[in-house]
Amino acid sequence: MIRIDKETRLYSTGEFLYPCRSLESKEGIDKLGVFGGQPAFEEELHVGRPNIGNRRGFLERVNDILDRCWLTNNGLYVQEFEHKISEMIGVKHCIVMCNATVALEIAIRATELKGEVLVPSFTFVATAHALQWQQITPVFCDIDPTTHNIDPSRLNDMITPRTTGIIGVHLWGRPCDVAGLSGIAKKHGLKLLFDASHAFGCSHKGKMIGGFGDAEVFSFHATKVLNSFEGGAVVTNNDDLAAKIRLMKNFGFAGYDDVTYIGTNGKMSELSAAMGLTSLESLPEFINVNYRNYKQYQEELRNTPGISLLAYDETEKCNYHYIIFEIDESVAGISQDDLLKILWAENILARRYFYPGCHRMEPYRSYFPHARLLLPETEVLVNRVVALPTGTAIEPNDISKICEIIRMVVTRGILD
């Protein structure tokens, strides 16, 4: 519990004491919402508030869907959505699905992964669950502390006779070391998939993400830069794999009353595809707003003690959809948790990602109780990363307020 001591001019979180700005100042630390002051924002600012796009265009598509009475089962909008994604990404095949988790599960099954698969622990738990759900063991590998992505240099020591594949995650839309992972996969005869949930519209060495490995999986969840309410897709250049995935996402039906393969229901509805197409039309606008926000955060948090904003490679295509910084408590004078308490009290719903790491979630913490010993960088990063609100719901004035609060509450920012 954070509290303030007006006699000593220190505020306390229960474990640490921090020096306060003059308490008589109108802008004093005691005016913050966490100490009973008025929140900086009347409405909550969320990380990942959905981008809506052209509402009229979307509703026109909805009316067309209702007029056609073709609501699902590979409708015209699903077909168009797949075609436009393939064209944009530069891949031969795009198979859209009801969500990215099902898409990843089907990709895993279609590539015949089994036994053990190497994955980062610093990812959304669905990456691990998609394996464990199919009784495949996710073996957690540590990350590169600079890129936050899986570290290829650590993989060789983790490969066993049971290892059948690697899943890399393009975290924050920044690409994995594709060459490093591809080299290891080829050397050991492993399948290579990529969870590209964060990376739609991003490139690596001039090539759009989506064309690497055996297949890649996108997410079109409501919180992503491009959303279809719920949705996902598998993209690949492998003809045979694409054909198998199309069977598997529709119960194995190859034709009317003709089931030729085991499958499930992973189909995307026409309504979701209509939203996806609407989002795709507005994608340049979404990315432009994200870039504007990123540059403003970069400028306003520059030289803030203990705050290191994650940088994007501006020579590549990027969606700039995540504003991420690391907080160094020893320099900032405040922990990740305490900063989040302060921001939440201002209705700034900043988030930790991906706390506490998949290896500390069930069932993995029971299966691998000592995994943390092999994941020192992950263990540090989960206690440092903070994601800030961005997207089309955030205005420049909002960012200025957010940054002002962050600057004020770090040690050197609140000293007189």
What is 194-221 written as a DSSP string? EE-TT-TT-EETTEETTSSSSEEEEE--
Cis peptide before 145 (omega within 30 of 0): no
- Over the stretch 217-236, which tens digit does the pLDDT of each residue have? 999 999 999 999 999 999 99
Residues 6+ apart with CB under 8 A from 341: 2, 13, 34
- Domain at 55-279: CATH architecture: 3-Layer(aba) Sandwich (3.40)
What pLDDT sits at residue 257? Answer: 93
Contact 349, 386 (CB under 8 A): no
Query: Tens of pLDDT along 137-182?
Result: 999 999 999 999 999 999 999 999 999 999 999 999 999 999 999 9
> Do 263 and 247 touch, CB atoms closer than 8 A?
yes
Q: What percent of the chain has pLDDT over 70?
A: 92
Cβ contacts of residue 35 below 8 Å, gap of 6+? Answer: 2, 4, 11, 29
- Output the CA angle 40-46-49, nearest 5 degrees: 135
pLDDT value at position 242? 98
Query: Of all helices (H) and strands (E), which one includes residue 308?
Result: strand 307-309
* Contacting residues for 187 by C-beta, under 8 A, at least 6 apart: none
Domain ranges of the chain: 3-50+283-414, 55-279
Task: Tell me which of 21 and 289 has the higher pLDDT.
Answer: 289
Q: What is the pLDDT of residue 411?
A: 63
Average pLDDT along the chain: 92
The per-residue pLDDT for range 77-130, each reduced to its tens digit, is 999 999 999 999 999 999 999 999 999 999 999 999 999 999 999 999 999 999
Q: What is the DSSP letter of 149?
A: S
Check residue 72 and give its pLDDT.
97
18/11 Cα distance (integer angstroms)? 5
**Ramachandran assignment for 155, one of left (phi > 0), alpha (psi -120 to 50 degrees), beta (any other):** alpha
> For the CA atoms of 72, 75, 79, 84, what is the dihedral angle to 10 degrees?
-80
| Token reading at 412 | 């050197």
pLDDT of residue 30: 75
Per-residue confidence band for 35, with pLDDT thresholds at 50, 70 and 90: confident
Pick the CATH number of 3-50+283-414 from 3.10.20.440, 3.40.50.720, 3.90.1150.10, 1.10.8.60: 3.90.1150.10
